[in-house]
Chains A and B, each alone.
Chain A
C-alpha cells in the first residue's frame, strides 16, 4: 500500500476523537473474543479494511481475518462458499450495481435493516448517501452499507482546451465537434478515450445511454434499440472509433489512466476512483479539470455506484460482523478514507476541516468533490439491465458497442442482434 494512503488512513484516529465522548454509551465490546472473516477485493476499499483492522480489534476485542483477492477471484470464492451454504465468510465486499439482484435472489445477503437500529450515537445512518442506500435495498431488505461512492467523470486537459480555444462540451451533441477541433489542434493526442472492453464498458456507456434518454427496460422489453438507445450507441461507438485510441475495444480503467497520465489524451471518461492514478507523478495535477459528462436530450443521469459491505446469510457472527461494518462506514473512518482518495458516501464529510484542507490543495480535487456531490444527488446505479442476470446483459450490449467501434456492424444491426438476446434474458429463458 502506498505510504500516502497508509498515512492518511492513520488520520482516522485523529478524526475519530470528537466522536469518542458521545460514543461512550454504546458497547463496542459486546462481542469481545469472537473472530470474523472478511472477504475483500484487492482495491483501495479492500486496503482500507486491512488498514483499519488493528484499530477495530483494539476497540472491540473482535479478531478480524481478512482474505483479499482480485475482484473476480473474490467473487468466485464467495460464490463457492455461499452456494455450499457454509459460514467461512462473515462480511464480504459487494458491488450492488452488478450482482445485487443476483445475490439477493440467491438469498446470500443478510438483511441489515434491523441492525441499523443498533448503532453508536455518532454513527449517523441517515448521513449515508440516500441514493446508494435505496439502490442497496432490494425487496425491502437492506443488503449492504456503502463504503465509497464512485462514478465515471470527464477528465479533461485545461491547458489543451485553452491552447486550442475549445470550450468544455455543454451537451452530448457537442462532444464530436469538440473532439474534432482538439484533433486538428493537437494531432498527436487522442481526443477522447473511454472504456471499450466488452465486460467493462457498461459503466461508462450507461451514462451516454441514460443522458440520451434511454431506458434499459421499457414495459418488460429491452429498450436498447429505442431511438434514444440507437443515438447513444452511434455516439459512443463513433466517438471511440473516430476519436479514441487504436485498439480501444480492449480499453478499461488501467489503459485509460495510463494514457491520460502520460499526457496522450485530451479527454478521458473514467471513474472518479482513478483520480489518484491519473494524478500519479503530479504531471496532471494542475492541468486537469473534472466534470460530469454533459447532458443529452434525456437530461443528466450520471452513473453512481458503490462498493458495499454485506453480511453473509450463513454467518454465525452477525453481531460482530455488523460492528465491523458500522466502524468502517462511520463518519470518522470515512473522512480519513476521503483523504486517501476513496470518496466517502457521506455528503457532510467534505465540510470537515482536514478534508477541506486536502481539497484546497489543487483545484482538480475540489472539482472531483463537486462532481461526486452531483453524482450522489442526481445519479443512477442502473449499470446494465435491472435483472438478476445483469452481468450477462452487460455482455450482450457490450458486444453491440464493440461491433460499432470496430465498424463490424451498423448501430442498427448490432443493436438488433443484442436486443433479441436481451429480450430472451428479460423473459428468463436465455442462455
Chain B
C-alpha cells in the first residue's frame, strides 16, 4: 500500500485512468489531437494538485530525484537512458518512413443551383420550381411505379437497390454516389435541385464541385422531363423523405 500513498504513484495512476477513459470510454473514438488536448489539461491539473504545498511537491519530486541521483538506482537509471532514446528514435522512424497519402478531394457537395437551365433547348426556371407531378395526385401510383422502373434500369448500378448509394460500382468511384436514405441529402434539397443535378449530371457541376471527377451522367440525353420528375417522386417516396420547400414570399 505504501506505493499508492506516494504522490508520484498517485499522479501516474490518475493519468493512466484518465487516458483509459478518454481513449476507450468515448464512442465514437475521439481523434488523437483531441486526446492530446484532454491529457494536457489532466496533466496540468495533476501538477497543480501535487504542487499545492511545498511538502506535497517535495514528496512528488522525491522518487524522480532519487532515480536521477541515488547510487542504488543505478540500474533503473541505465535502463531509462537506453529505453527512452530508443522510443523517441522509433517514433521518429515511423514519422520519417510514413508513406504519403493521396491528397483529399475537397469539393462543395451541394453547390448553389443556377437560376435556370437549358433542357434540350428549352429554358427551365429552377428557382421556385416544384415537381409538377405532385399536383396530379390521381396518378401518383403510376408515376411512382414509372420512377421505380427508371431507377432500376439506370441508377441502381451506382446508387443501389436500397437507395443507399451502395450499388455495384459505388465502391470504386470518388466522389461516392449519393445516399438517398441519408437525411443529409435529398431531404435537405428542393426537388428542382434534384432535377438540375439529374438533368446536367457531373459535367454540369460548377468548378467548386469537381465536375471532372463526378461519374454522374447528364440524364437529359436519355430521360424526358416527365421521366426525371417521376424518378424524383420515387426517390422521395421510397426513402420516406420529404423535399424541402421553397421559402414563402414575404
B and A form one assembly: no
- List residues of A whose CB falls within 8 A of some B CB: none
